[in-house]
A and B are shown apart, each in its own frame.
Chain A
């Protein structure tokens, strides 16, 4: 089944304790991205990657790191989480061109993070 998976789905942690949220896709997509969703603000892009070893900042990158060592994986790293990073996080992936709906992004199930 074609899908984007994220782990963990739920996480409660404390300020300053490094954490990683994993994201994996099995559709051979070049493009992957991370978003956070907060009430009243919609979804905002954190980082994205157009291909292996190519990453770029989105609109709200502060406090986050990413890496793209393999095409299928795009982990999100919070080196020193703070309470303002409490949010719902989505990973997404897409092809960059071609097909009837190019660059349509398919989303993972979401990770609900609480930082105390």
Chain B
């Protein structure tokens, strides 16, 4: 069965430092997508970054990068130069079944300290 696991319920990082949020997944589907979403305290879900299972290179979007290790089934999010506005809940998600299904991890709450 497909599963997404985020083992860090909460994390702290100092402003301007880099932080890695962990995500591992399990699926038997050879074609899948991996996503990270940010949910600030206001509640909306903001798409950050995407990695396809056949992509050879790790995805990057500005200060966000996805460390994709297919053999280990991990898709960690790296945020460089943390900002106070990065304080939020972060969800890792995986799509499968040709995009028809999307499952989420339980989330990691990131707090950025000034």
Residues of A within 8 A of B (CB): 31, 33, 35, 40-45, 48, 50, 56, 58-59, 88, 90, 92, 94, 96-97, 100-107, 109-110, 112
Contact = CB atoms under 8 A, between A and B. Distances in A.
Contact of A97 (B44, B99, B107): B99
Contacts of A43: 45, 91, 93, 104
A31 B46 CA distance: 18
Interface residues of B, number: 23
B72 interface: no
Contact of A107 (B44, B50, B99): B44
Interface of B: 33, 35, 37, 43-47, 50, 52, 91, 93, 95, 98-107
A56 B37 CA distance: 24
Contacts of A105: 35, 47, 95, 102
Contacts of A100: 50
A102 B106 contact: no
Contacts of B107: 42
B101 A48 contact: yes
A89 B99 CA distance: 20
A110 B47 contact: no
Contacts of B102: 33, 45, 92, 103, 105
